[in-house]
């Protein structure tokens, strides 16, 4: 277990390099095998993880540029543990359910390289190395959208790359400046997150640096008004690209807020919490209205992702244990549900080569298994109690209600809009008579499709009924995070808000 984190990071990349030697007829099984091994390794990591330890575990440190304090430093806590598990699981599931047939070998190799970068982002404890893997993740996704996407794939790929790359450059400037601040304060260079957490920064500096990190994280989420790249990327990406983008890549932005912005800039985070909440509320309402107007099934789910990410932002900037813990659980649940929904759209697109809602109707009588699976995922998406979506949404809103009850009521009412457009989508697609002759002979979900989708259905129900295995480790690490924020907060308003939030979290437990 000494190097388990490094193995998790670099095994997919090594397997991808070897994949060039694999026969194209065997590449699918090779990809499934590699991702299954990676998932098993993450399960082994979970089994060895000490759930009573809220700090970083299995840490590894190796100097890279010693004179400037840049190290290869990795570690895992309760916040990142289940994001790693979700990444390995959803990557495996996406390759099992892969419907793309064109140039399959290069696609699977690209996905394996992408898996390396995503896992590394959740494990890196050095800001510069974190940034390197953060940026590297753009390259395989750019290739996936640009090479295997739809008619507007080049435009979508370039827009995705430019948005995220420019935001990341601004974030890099903030990281370099923070490294210099640490040097000016202590006399030594360091880009380790754990070292930076010891800094007490002036309020004005916190605001500036919060803005720099905000540029990178908010575009990746994406938050309103930086969300316009996402519908194009989803709309043009192949199914596997949409699954990974929704399930994992978007979560890198919200993870960044939790890992960097909250502990490094507690006063700025408290000061800007209402502004962040308002942006999140606008995203929830606006994208719900846009989703309702869509005629493309995939675009409905794409806009719903922006709306759900708004709820996650609300939980994060509740600045308390319930809200942050709920947002992490919602990140996991959204990854599973949205990934499954995009996969389900891929199943029907593979049969009909269209995603237009008007082309369907009455599918429940033709594809009953498919209809049931879609229905379960829809219920998880709208947050029906006893499904995985309810737990995260409830805790996120509960945490935010403790500090902003009025805004929380508005958020709760606007989330109803999500149920409206998803139920309308389901009604138009699955109920009523079969009006299109082409749909009467459609084949129901089968084989690899069921192998990929049934485990996701099981998780939606099981974790909705019994979320404790995830919530307990997450809660301990989040409690420590909130205590760090409380100790570092300097302005009276922030100190009172975070202290109150921490006390509420302890009482609730």
pLDDT tens for each residue of 267-317: 999 999 999 999 999 888 888 888 888 888 888 888 888 888 899 999 999
Q: Is the pLDDT of residue 231 over 60?
A: yes
- Residue 509's pLDDT band, with cuts at 50, 70 and 90, is very low
Residue 502 has a pLDDT of 57
Does the structure show a pLDDT above 50 at 71? yes
pLDDT in tens, 171-197: 999 999 999 999 999 999 999 999 998
pLDDT confidence of residue 507: 39
457 to each of 248, 372, 385, 461, 462, how far by Cα in Å? Answer: 18, 10, 15, 7, 9
* DSSP calls for 338-359: HHHHHHHHHHHHHHHS--BGGG
Confidence bin at 495 (pLDDT 50/70/90) = low
Mean pLDDT of the region 70-88: 95
Rounded CA-CA distance 454/459 in Å is: 9
Task: Please report the DSSP string for 65-134 in residue order.
Answer: EGGGTEEEEEEE-HHHHHHHHHHHHHHHHHHHT----TTHHHHHHHHHHHHHHHHHHHHB-BHHHHHHHH
505 confidence band (pLDDT: 50, 70, 90): very low
Q: Are 122 and 74 in contact (CB under 8 A)?
A: no
Indicate if the pLDDT at residue 260 is higher than 70: yes
| Rounded-to-integer distance, Cα 138 and Cα 128, Å | 16
| Mean per-residue pLDDT, 103-117 | 94
Kindly tell me if the per-residue pLDDT of 503 is higher than 60.
no
Q: Which of 341, 346, 351, 347 is nearest to 375 (CA)?
A: 341
> So what's the pLDDT on residue 410?
83
Closest CA to 299 of 384, 425, 164: 425
CA of 162: how far to CAs of 139, 216, 364, 464, in Å?
A: 11, 12, 41, 37
Token pair for 289 = 């209205």
Q: Give pLDDT, residue 211.
A: 95
pLDDT band per the 50, 70, 90 thresholds, residue 496? low
Look at 51 and 122; give whichever has higher pLDDT: 122
Provide the whole-model pTM: 0.92
pLDDT mean across residues, the chain: 90
Question: Could you count the other beta carbons within 10 Å of the beta carbon of residue 66?
Answer: 9
- Three-point CA angle 75, 77, 80, nearest 5°: 90
Looking at residues 405-418, what average pLDDT do you find?
Answer: 82
- For residue 306, what pLDDT is reported? 86
The percentage of residues in the chain with a pLDDT greater than 90, rounded to a whole number, is 59
Judged against a pLDDT cut of 50, whether residue 445 lies above it is answered with yes
Mean pLDDT to the nearest integer, 393-404: 89
């Amino acid at each position: 277990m000494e190097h388990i984190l490094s193995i998790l990071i670099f095994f997919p990349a090594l397997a991808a390099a070897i994949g060039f030697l694999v026969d194209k007829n065997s590449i699918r099984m090779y990809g499934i095998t590699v991702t299954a091994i990676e998932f098993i390794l993450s399960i082994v990591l979970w089994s060895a993880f000490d759930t009573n330890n809220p700090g970083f575990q299995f840490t590894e440190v190796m100097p890279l540029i010693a004179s400037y304090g840049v190290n290869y430093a990795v570690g895992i806590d309760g916040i990142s543990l289940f994001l790693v598990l979700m990444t390995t699981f959803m990557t495996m599931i996406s390759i099992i359910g892969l419907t793309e047939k064109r140039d399959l070998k290069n696609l699977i190799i690209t996905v394996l390289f992408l898996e390396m970068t995503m896992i590394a982002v959740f494990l890196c404890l050095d800001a510069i190395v974190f940034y390197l893997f953060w940026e590297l993740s753009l390259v395989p996704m750019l290739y996936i959208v640009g090479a295997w996407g739809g008619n507007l794939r080049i435009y979508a790929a370039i827009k995705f790359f430019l948005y995220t790359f420019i935001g990341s450059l601004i974030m890099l400037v903030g990281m370099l400046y923070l490294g210099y601040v640490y040097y000016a304060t202590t006399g030594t260079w360091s880009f380790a997150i754990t070292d930076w957490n010891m800094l007490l920064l002036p309020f004005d500096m916190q605001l500036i640096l919060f803005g720099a990190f905000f540029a990178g994280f908010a575009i990746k989420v994406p938050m309103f008004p930086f969300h316009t790249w996402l519908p194009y990327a989803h709309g043009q990406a192949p199914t596997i690209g949409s699954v990974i983008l929704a399930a994992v890549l978007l979560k890198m932005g919200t993870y960044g807020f939790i890992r960097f912005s909250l502990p490094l800039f507690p006063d700025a985070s408290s000061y800007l919490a209402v502004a962040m909440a308002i942006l999140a509320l606008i995203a929830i309402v606006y994208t719900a209205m846009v989703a309702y107007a869509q005629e493309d099934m995939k675009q409905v789910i794409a806009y719903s992702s922006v709306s759900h990410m708004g709820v996650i932002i609300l939980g994060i900037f509740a600045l308390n244990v319930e809200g942050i813990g709920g947002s992490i659980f919602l990140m996991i649940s959204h990854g599973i549900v949205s990934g499954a929904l995009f996969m389900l759209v891929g199943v029907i697109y593979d049969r009909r080569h269209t995603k237009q809602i008007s082309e369907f109707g009455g599918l429940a009588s033709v594809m009953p298994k498919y209809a049931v699976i879609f229905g379960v995922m829809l219920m998880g998406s709208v947050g029906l109690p006893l499904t995985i979506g309810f737990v995260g949404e409830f805790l996120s809103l509960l945490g935010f209600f403790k500090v902003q009850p009025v805004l929380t009521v508005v958020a709760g009412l606007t989330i109803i809009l999500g149920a409206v457009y998803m139920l309308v989508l389901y009604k138009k697609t699955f109920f009523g008579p079969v009006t299109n002759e082409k749909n009467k002979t459609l084949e129901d979900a089968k084989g690899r499709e069921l192998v990929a989708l049934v485990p996701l259905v099981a998780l939606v129900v099981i974790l909705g009924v019994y979320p404790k295995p995830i919530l307990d480790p997450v809660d301990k690490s989040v409690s420590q995070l909130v205590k760090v924020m409380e100790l570092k907060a300097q302005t009276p308003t922030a100190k009172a808000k975070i202290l109150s939030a921490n006390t509420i979290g302890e009482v609730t437990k």
